[in-house]
Chains A and B, each alone.
Chain A
Amino acid sequence: MTDTGLDPMSGQEAQSMSGRPKGGPTWARRLGFDRFTGIYIWAIIIALFSIWTPETFLTKATLSGIISAQAITAILALGVLIALAAGQYDLSAAQAMGFGAVLCTWLLTKHAPIIIAILITLACCGAVGVSNALLITKVGINSFIATLGSSSILLAITELISNDQYLGPVPTTFQALAVTQRWSIPILLPYLIVLGTVIWAVLEHTPIGRRTYATGASIETARLVGVPTGRYVAISLVATSLCAGVAGILLAAQIGTVSSLIGPSYLLPVFAACFLGTTQFKPGRFNVGGTLLALFLLATGVKGLQLVGGQQWLTDAFNGVALLVAVGIAVVSERRRSDA
């Protein structure tokens, strides 16, 4: 295993941010500004839009709309989180999702049985993870560079499969995997909850998770204490690609028609959510709760702005401001605690 030099969270940084509070209790700490700013901001956003536009915001349609719009992004974000926890940037994740969506749709349009199409897609996406892992752990390429390269190769393969055409539609029975609703709750939510719970449990409550975090915090230190870092990096990259495959399959089912260009636009929101997530619940650590909170916080604000008729630039600005505000408050709060 090689030290990438571009680890998402250096050991010193992670140690500093994840340390327990040193200072005495203050009103800010008591209110949990160092760990729960996102929840406060989310509550404020919900309250604000509930007062502002109650007839449209406080509806089941809003809830289901936010879940439908974010669940797939969230699944991809959870995948990226695993790689980040192991100290690796997987820039190919979004394109792997696009690849999965196109491959699955292509197989279905060739009349492959749904289960076969899903299994082949997952296997191919898993292979992408294996390939990334080999490039990073065996060849020794920086994860940033390796996954950037594989993203480009994946785009090329996706273009070949799609023949640069829109593919679809997918069969209705396949679409039901993503568009079914019960009591106005999209079926995507249970998928997200199950996947999120599994990833949370593994990362937070198993030796595998602890070693993954140790690898991400300081790969050299982890190696010196006997953690087989290469193995954990590889596992995390394969897990990321598998999550991307799941997200791709669900994306194909949700929208029915896909092209080779569908993936890349998801990259920034996913990384933004993961980094914003590090300011929540467990400051300084990529964590499932923080990432999901970040995604749904931003989505709620954007939805509210959309419902009151905000222009496109406003939603973009909101995303940026919310990210900076949440991170800013958490960082200042953390620094204050350290100084005390």
Chain B
Amino acid sequence: MRQRLRSTIAVSVGITVALLMSACSSSSSSNTPPNSGPSSSSASTSAIVAEAKQAVQKATNVQGQLALPVLSKAPAPGKTIGLITCGVPACQQNNQQAEQALKLLGWNFKPILSQFTPQSFQAAIETAVQDKVDGLIVDFFFPPSIVKAQLEAAKNAGIVVVATGVGQVEYGGDQPIQAVTQGQVGQQAIGKLQAQVIIADSNGNPGTVAYVRDPEVPFYVNLSDGFQAEMQKAGIKTSMVNVSQGDPTSQIVSQVVSFAQKTPSLRYITGGISEPLLTGVPQGLKGASITDVKIVGASPEQSDIQDIKNGTQLAAVDFDNDLAIWLSVYQLTAIIGGDPLAPDLRNPIGLHRVVTNSVAQTLTDDTLPPTPGIPDVFKAAWHIS
């Protein structure tokens, strides 16, 4: 029995040593080493900084930037459009936007709820096929490969499928998915804009920059790819702080604050989405007496806008999910009505807004107004007076 106790302790020590050795070796691979400043020539850096400032300026006021080709004829009423949706706040927001857009067209809206399991996601698309909807908007929270058979079935049933929030995917032509919004190109553009906010604010010399993401979520990976690419262009390295968004909020905050603690050169933190990846981070940093780190949020909620107003957060990039849904409906009207859809409308970048302090100060109820152009630009495109 004494032998058993010794064995237990020996095994325990062995596992612990192995873990710690892994920690040692992974500390250099999990997070990119801190940045030592721009390495590109000062001329190109200043051009990138100028471009960033211009992009941020443009994104702080997107009034008049939304434009759409008018369809050849008004969409015929009475179509039924399904939307694969989920129970989280962002999905509910999508439902509201889809319902508004479809109501304008006189079309029926059929939200189909999916849980966050592959089986449920497959079942939701199967439901849409059984319901014989005319068009289907799929909000992808799983890779398209999981629902390949279901999408084929939808195509065979004559259902026009458009995707939103999907990463890299084949679309158009003979593919089951005919068009995309907030696809890989749009997601990377969001990441790029997040980078530009930091480049512009720091004049291209931001010190260490951390990007908080859940690497298992393709959406975050695309965002961080776009972010990293723009940072690399400016000669700035990014440290990825990988978290699991399924973890308790306090654990995510602890991870981010720990990274800030061990990286004294850290000056900026941004991430895939403010809630839940950056929720509580300002308070956590304050609690750890870290006061020289600026936070750039993403997809801001009311609390983020308040934080921007009071200076706790530098700025936030709004993804404009609402616009993505309206564009999905536009794509459906064009495809179902037989109108050609230009390549930049089959996979539009979107219109992403930057909420700075000056923008936030103008928001009386701490919520962003609808994208300028919704619904007027769409009504015009659909011949609705």
Q: A residues touching B (Cβ–Cβ < 8 Å)?
A: 26, 28, 33, 48, 53, 56, 59-62, 64-66, 68-70, 72-73, 159, 162-166, 168-169, 175, 179, 181, 184, 186, 251, 254-257, 259-262, 265-266, 269, 299, 302-303, 305-312, 314-318, 321, 325, 328-329, 332-333, 335-336, 339-340
Q: List 16 A-B contacts (CB under 8 A).
A: A61-B261, A64-B287, A65-B254, A68-B254, A69-B250, A164-B89, A169-B306, A255-B283, A256-B303, A259-B276, A265-B249, A305-B23, A309-B28, A318-B19, A325-B8, A335-B1
Bound: A56/B280 CA distance, A: 21
The reply to whether B249 and A312 contact each other, CB–CB distance below 8 Å, is no
Q: A166-B89, A329-B9 are in contact. Are A65 and B258 (CB under 8 A)?
A: yes
Q: A309-B28, A310-B27, A325-B16 are in contact. Are A64 and B288 (CB under 8 A)?
A: yes
Q: A65-B284, A314-B26, A318-B19 are in contact. Are A259 and B262 (CB under 8 A)?
A: no
The reply to whether A257 and B262 contact each other, CB–CB distance below 8 Å, is no
Hey, what's the 0/1 contact readout for B285-301 against A, CB within 8 Å counting as 1? 01111100000000001
The reply to whether B280 and A254 contact each other, CB–CB distance below 8 Å, is yes
B253 at the interface (CB under 8 A from A): yes
In the complex, which residues of chain B have a beta carbon less than 8 angstroms from the beta carbon of A317?
Answer: 19
In the complex, which residues of chain A have a beta carbon less than 8 angstroms from the beta carbon of B287?
Answer: 61, 64-65, 68, 179, 181, 186
The reply to whether B31 and A309 contact each other, CB–CB distance below 8 Å, is yes
Select A255's contact among B1, B254, B279, beta carbons within 8 Å: B279
Bound: A316/B288 CA distance, A: 23
Bound: A239/B242 CA distance, A: 37
Residue of B at shortest CB range from A257? B303
The reply to whether B5 and A59 contact each other, CB–CB distance below 8 Å, is no
A10 → chain B, closest Cβ, in Å? 24
Chain A binding surface SS class: helix
B140 at the interface (CB under 8 A from A): no
Q: B residues touching A (Cβ–Cβ < 8 Å)?
A: 1-2, 4-5, 8-9, 11-12, 15-16, 19-20, 22-24, 26-31, 87-89, 91-93, 242-244, 246-251, 253-255, 257-259, 261-262, 275-276, 279-280, 283-284, 286-290, 301-303, 306-307
Chain A to chain B: the 10 pairs with minimum beta-carbon distance, closest first: A309-B27, A306-B258, A169-B303, A255-B280, A164-B92, A61-B288, A310-B23, A257-B303, A325-B12, A69-B254
The reply to whether A308 and B23 contact each other, CB–CB distance below 8 Å, is yes
A11 → chain B, closest Cβ, in Å? 25
Bound: A315/B259 CA distance, A: 14
In the complex, which residues of chain A have a beta carbon less than 8 angstroms from the beta carbon of B307?
Answer: 169
Residue of A at shortest CB range from B304? A257
A266 → chain B, closest Cβ, in Å? 5
Select A254's contact among B246, B283, B290, beta carbons within 8 Å: B283
Bound: A187/B250 CA distance, A: 16
* A-B pair number, CB within 8 angstroms: 178
In the complex, which residues of chain B have a beta carbon less than 8 angstroms from the beta carbon of A308?
Answer: 23-24, 27, 262
Residue of B at shortest CB range from A329? B8
In the complex, which residues of chain A have a beta carbon less than 8 angstroms from the beta carbon of B92?
Answer: 163-165
Chain B binding surface SS class: helix
In the complex, which residues of chain A have a beta carbon less than 8 angstroms from the beta carbon of B88?
Answer: 164, 259, 261
In the complex, which residues of chain B have a beta carbon less than 8 angstroms from the beta carbon of A306?
Answer: 254-255, 258-259, 262
Select A257's contact among B26, B29, B261, B275, beta carbons within 8 Å: B275
B283 → chain A, closest Cβ, in Å? 5
In the complex, which residues of chain B have a beta carbon less than 8 angstroms from the beta carbon of A305?
Answer: 19, 23
The reply to whether B261 and A310 contact each other, CB–CB distance below 8 Å, is no
Q: A257-B303, A259-B88, A311-B26 are in contact. List 16 more A-B contacts (CB 8 A).
A: A64-B287, A73-B250, A159-B87, A164-B89, A165-B89, A165-B92, A186-B287, A265-B247, A265-B249, A308-B24, A309-B31, A310-B23, A310-B30, A332-B4, A332-B8, A335-B1
A204 → chain B, closest Cβ, in Å? 28
Bound: A65/B256 CA distance, A: 11
Q: A61-B290, A259-B88, A303-B258 are in contact. Are A314 and B8 (CB under 8 A)?
A: no
Residue of B at shortest CB range from A109? B302
The reply to whether A257 and B279 contact each other, CB–CB distance below 8 Å, is yes
Select B289's contact among A165, A175, A184, A269, beta carbons within 8 Å: A184
Residue of A at shortest CB range from B86? A164
Q: A168-B301, A257-B279 are in contact. Are A265 and B262 (CB under 8 A)?
A: no
In the complex, which residues of chain A have a beta carbon less than 8 angstroms from the beta carbon of B26?
Answer: 309-311, 314
In the complex, which residues of chain A have a beta carbon less than 8 angstroms from the beta carbon of B87?
Answer: 159, 164, 260
A36 → chain B, closest Cβ, in Å? 14
Bound: A340/B4 CA distance, A: 14
